[in-house]
Amino acid sequence: MSIEPVQLDLFSPFQELELPEKSIHPRNYKQILRKLLSEDLNFHSENSTYATHNFHAFPAKFPPQLPKKFIVGLTLPGERILDPMSGSGTTVLEAMLLGRHGIGMDIDPLALSIGKVKVTPVDLGKLISNGKFVIQQATHALRFKKKELETALSGRFDPSTKKFVDYWFLEETQLELLALIRGIESISDHSIRRFLEIALSSIIITKSGGISLAYDLAHTRPHRLSNKAPRFAIDEFRKRINKNLKHMSKLAWSRGRADLFCSNAQTAGIADDSIDLIITSPPYAANAIDYMRAHKFSLVWFGHCIDFLGKMRGDYIGGERTHNFKMADLPAYAESIVSKVSEKDHKKGNVLRRYYTEMTLSLSEMFRVLKPGKAAIVIVGSSVMRGIDSETAKCLCEIGKTVGFDIVDTAERKLDRNRRMMPARKNAQPESQIEERMHKEYIIGFYKPK
Ligand SMILES: C[S@@+](CC[C@H](N)C(=O)[O-])C[C@H]1O[C@@H](n2cnc3c(N)ncnc32)[C@H](O)[C@@H]1O
């Protein structure tokens, strides 16, 4: 087993940039925002895998050019850019690469780990030697200490988690994963350990279900393919490390800063009037993208219990649990959409009400932390509930106004479903109006008046 030496190509991300060197006159700010929103925001033909952006698959991940456009157009180096639902950290990484201070928060443990790895430069020499060590240890354990591995595997999980693991992973794959994880757990450097964990996770969570028996971890509920021949985990891990190492070499050049922490977007622990720009994309309503459904496939290997992960799922914005949930009063249009859904299905109506309640709180927090005279760029898609379009963009504009924002404009972009992990509805008629809308997302320019 070998890890190829990395060619450091002395690339600097700054070679590509045109940084605005002078600040925007406050009088022109809204005009510039409107112009940015009127430009092409599709970026389908552009490379989205530079720097560390491609370390790990993530549902509804931004193309990096999307946050980059607004960061370059609306902020100066050193300014603070927040993504309160940062997912895999695209906004935070772009902010850092552009010499700004990116701040991200999320409640999903895997999202936070992915984001942290993507923005933390590590010593490449140490990474290579630690990667080699883990692979050698795992190979040795599989060859000569199989019994010991089997005993460790039988005691590793609680009964529910074991049931889940046994259903989705062949026993030989379980042993390979455990051999790798034991090697990773023995590494003392926290950043290197996390880098290796994320490399391991990325061979489990792939569109094709990676080394598990899942057919698809991106679009649908995962289906188990009992005749799938999963690949050898150690080879996949080695390939992935080599790939990520090359990209990691490009991070060391960044002049910016990045901080990511676990926090709820509805109660962000950030000072009033302290952020220069927000760029974020909240979850879809009604759990249309269920992050935990895929993430649990790798989180169980890092010490999380399946029952606990199942409970956490209810805490995500857009979750379906409504019992004892304190609902907000909604403005007229959002209320009318909720009522339409409720007439068809009372429970689903409550789920949508919960979503708009959570988004009211999130938008209020964004308004509180943003400096006056600055913008929040919020990217959303619609969900379809009992045949009714949730009209998320329109409702969020209305809610945004109630918390104090001006709406500068709303732009549209087409989703590139080949590239992003999105909730594609496989058998839907592509020409239907609602399907047409599901293939779009909306970029709302909120402005906090001075
Ligand atoms: C659409 S994804 C963000 C993707 C991100 N733009 C990227 O490029 O990777 C939405 C994120 O919101 C997070 N989220 C859900 N509920 C949250 C909450 N209450 N507070 C903070 N983040 C939350 C989810 O875990 C998920 O990572």
Give the model's pLDDT for residue 420: 47
Give the model's pLDDT for residue 13: 41
E strand segments, 165-296: 257-262, 275-280
Which atom belonging to ligand 1 lies closest to the Cα atom of 85? 22
Give the model's pLDDT for residue 228: 81
Per-residue pLDDT of the chain (450 residues), as tens digits, is: 555 654 433 334 443 444 555 677 888 999 999 999 999 999 988 999 989 999 999 988 999 999 999 999 999 999 999 999 999 999 999 999 999 999 999 999 999 999 999 999 899 999 999 999 999 999 999 999 999 999 999 999 999 999 999 999 999 999 999 999 999 999 999 999 999 999 999 999 987 768 999 887 766 677 888 888 888 999 999 999 999 988 887 676 677 999 999 999 999 889 999 999 999 999 988 877 888 999 999 999 999 999 999 999 888 999 988 988 999 899 999 999 999 999 999 999 999 999 999 999 999 999 999 999 999 999 999 888 898 999 999 999 999 999 999 999 999 998 876 554 555 444 555 445 555 556 889 999 999 999
Which atom belonging to ligand 1 lies closest to the Cα atom of 105? 21
Ligand 1 pocket, Cβ-based, cut-off 6 angstroms: 58, 60-62, 85, 87-88, 90, 105-108, 111, 264-266, 281-283, 291, 316-317
For residue 118, the CA-to-ligand 1 centroid distance in Å is 16
Give the model's pLDDT for residue 27: 81
For residue 271, the CA-to-ligand 1 centroid distance in Å is 21
Give the model's pLDDT for residue 22: 67
Instruction: For ligand 1, atom 15, name the residue with the nearest CA.
Output: 316
Nearest Cα neighbor of 197 from 177, 219, 218, 221 is 177
| Substitution candidate for ligand 1 out of 93, 316, 383 with most atoms within 8 A of CB | 316
Measured in whole angstroms, how far is the alpha carbon of residue 28 from the centre of its chain?
32
Phi, psi at 396, each rounded to 5°: -70, -35
Residue type at 61 in one-letter notation: K
Which atom belonging to ligand 1 lies closest to the Cα atom of 87? 27
For residue 60, the CA-to-ligand 1 centroid distance in Å is 9
Residue type at 4 in one-letter notation: E
Which atom belonging to ligand 1 lies closest to the Cα atom of 58? 9
Question: Given the structure tokens 């992990």, which residue do they identify?
Answer: 421
